[in-house]
Structure 1
Amino acid sequence: MRIHFKIVSFCLLMCFILPFHLSLASESQPEVNIEAERMGHYLRYSNELVPWYHLAAIDQYERNIRQVRTDLPKPDGPISIIFPSHDWSGLLNPDPTDTEPNSIAFFGGSGLDGNGDGIADLNDVGDILMTMSAHLSLYGPAEEDFKAALWHYYKREQTVNQIATIAKLYKHFETIELDEHVFPIPKGYDYSYRGTWGSSRGWGGRRIHEGTDIFAGYGVPVVATSYGVIEVMGWNEYGGWRVGIRDNHNTYHYFAHLAYFDKGIKEGDVVKPGTLLGTVGSSGYGKEGTSGKFPPHLHYGVYKYNGKTEWAFDPYPALMNWERQKR
């Protein structure tokens, strides 16, 4: 009886201790850093002709479009590059799921064995990156070589420019972790705004308002909201003095109705969150230099490129989030 009691007591004690021990063990395991994992893959499959940031830019672009397209699978792994099966196995290959490297090569497919397991798997990270690296190696490491390789693969100028922009950002900052954002008006300045997306506009023909108006006084600083490259800068009949910045998430940020540009920026420059772009004004709605047709404000718009088309979306939710972050 006493032995039975001891066994029962021991079992009850273990039922308490074991889960506690397992929970501590799980808590002590560091979370996997997906960015670090991705960077490891890029570095492994880069070489003198294919810098890591070229592979990273293509992968980020593919991730961007898969997140917003309904005809593509959502990204579910560390790498988002997808090769069409007929490109991978060969257009005339009777087996579109072929994983035998020699057979794939015979039929002119692009698929390669990147991890040394003897097969060329369309869904394997190493095989995917090795195959993309081999394609890029045919052209060279210079920016124009990279663009030529992208054009041959995607055959869309806007896609080429978007990926080149991402690569430029990764090269400049030497990291893929570029997700920080800030509100376009710095802390300490008075401003007001509300959701004006979709409101009607009449000047220049009936249209909808594609953005959010942030009202502030003349001369209030306007800053970049994200990491990006200045794609366009100058006069626009509707937006007046405006700056357009493209980021690493296929998003184009539009800052319009400025009074002045900051003298330290120009087209092609790399910017980061908080980079001074200019000051609030009331320019626009006419020929170059037109100003004063409406109260001073910043028009902030955002446009997403999905690999086929570019479309405007409402920036108001993001602005509210960035505003909360700066408080």
Structure 2
Amino acid sequence: MKKIIMFAVLFTFFFPSMNGLAQKLSQEEIFQQRMDIYKRVEERSGVPWYYLAAIDQFERSIRYVRKDLPDPDEIIGYYIPAEKWAGPANPNPDDVNPISIEIFGGIGLDGNKDGKVDRKNGEDLLFTLAQYLKKYEMNDTDFRIALWNYYKRDQSVRSVMTNANIYRHFKRIDLDGKSFPIPRGYNYSYKNTWGDRRGWGGRRIHEGTDIFAGYGAPVRAVAYGVVELKGWNKYGGWRIGIRDLNNTYHYYAHLNGFAKDLSVGDIVEPGTVIGSVGSSGYGPPGTSGKFPPHLHFGMYKDNGINEWSFDPYPHLRLWERQSNKKKK
């Protein structure tokens, strides 16, 4: 028995990464544990799970791209600063005692009824969030008001509502699939053109990747998202903007036309046809033919404060490989 115990100790000492590796959750397990927490908090608070999930996912997405916020936990992404959770005058920012937290004016609550108010516990975090949301009626109009009073920013409200609408529509959260914007069977070509100079309309850089294809080739949504914009722009011609669950805005420009009945506010999924390749733009509405037909695809990241463009080329290559594998 002593030999067995000694071996176990030595194995853990010399191979600590193996021990951690065995404990790592799969993406499927993460989604399941996350959903279980949403449902439990919904049952205890009466706040719909998709509202909780929408805020949680929004905060997860901004924490990955903000230097002033710590990276999110593997399961729950919602964040409350320690001084707000435990109380601004609390000498112990990691306090988990519900009595002292209440005395010092902290907002933290015990969500899982274990007698502790733990800021690192996802159920405690979301139950505390739910108590704030319960000050409002449980409908989209009042939820928007609650979000505005919390974030004080229109785009943050729209982003959270995007998440809520998607989760409510599909009734699940494992929605991380992607598609390449041009289907297989159509000839296309592209290279990394992000950052190239553009001269029409003034000196500027190219904020996207051009995918050249024939007129009328279908253009598909690359992710689960909500149509945020549709119409004409003198630079992009007929264009569509779709925001996904990671608070990334996908921009499809120079289209020949839109898919029938596609409207702002519509929910799309990977592979949904949203329009077709064209050469519209560089002039007043209807201008076309000033350049070869192609799809301009851009990606913009929002961090809850501002938004910026980033290079979509590596993502396109990955989605193209993944789409090709699915067809084999």
2:31 matches 1:35: yes
Q: 1:78-130, CA deviations, whole angstroms, 9 ceiling, x for partnerless residues?
A: 11111012322334555544433234334443111112222312222221111
Match of 1:287 among 284, 288, 296: 284
Does residue 54 (structure 1) correspond to residue 54 (structure 2)? The answer is no
CA distance 1:219–1:43, shift in 2 (3 Å): same
Q: Quick one: structure 1 residues 109 and 204, their matched pair in 2 at CA, closer, same or farther if it must change by over 3 Å?
A: same
Overall identity of the aligned pairs, in %: 57
For residues 7-156 of structure 1, the aligned pairs below 5 Å read 33-47=29-43, 49-93=46-90, 95-156=92-153
Farther-moved stretch of structure 1 (259-268 vs 247-256): 259-268
SS for the counterpart of 1:77 is: coil
Q: TM-score, normalised by structure 2?
A: 0.87
Distance 1:295 1:139, change over 3 A: same
| 8 A Cα contact 2:219 2:276, kept in partner | yes
In structure 2, the partner of 1:261 is 258
Opposite residue 33 of structure 1, the aligned amino acid is E
Structure 1: gaps of 5 or more residues: 1-10
Q: Distance in 2 between matches of 1:292 and 1:93?
A: 66
Whole-angstrom distance in 2 between the partners of 1:298 and 1:111? 49
Mark the structure with the bigger radius of gyration: 1
TM-score by length of 1: 0.87
In structure 1, what is the equivalent of residue 176 of structure 2? 179
- Structure 2 residue ranges without an equivalent (≥5): 12-17
Q: 2:64 aligns to what SS in structure 1?
A: helix
Number of equivalenced pairs: 306
The structure 2 residue matched to 1:309, chosen from 303, 306, 314, is 306
How big is the shift at 1:203? Answer: 0.9
Q: Which residue of 2 aligns with 1:325?
A: 322
Q: Mean alpha-carbon deviation: is it higher for 231-240 or for 65-74?
A: 65-74
Q: 2:154 aligns with which of 149, 153, 157?
A: 157
Task: Tell me the secondary structure at the aligned position of residue 33 of structure 1.
Answer: helix
Q: Secondary structure at the match of 2:142?
A: helix
How many Å apart are 1:282 and its aligned residue?
0.7
Q: In the alignment, what sits opposite 1:7? A: none
> Could you tell me how far apart the structure 2 residues matched to 1:195 and 1:77 are?
33
CA contact (8 A) 1:212 1:316 kept: yes
Shift in Å, 1:75: 2.1
CA contact (8 A) 2:301 2:307 kept: yes
- The superposition leaves residues 140-199 of structure 1 with CA deviations (integer Å, 9 ceiling, x where unpaired) of 221111112222222222111111101110110111111111111111011111110100
Matched residue of 1:279: which SS? strand
Q: Which amino acid aligns with 2:210?
A: D
8 Å CA contact 1:49–1:140 kept in 2: the answer is no
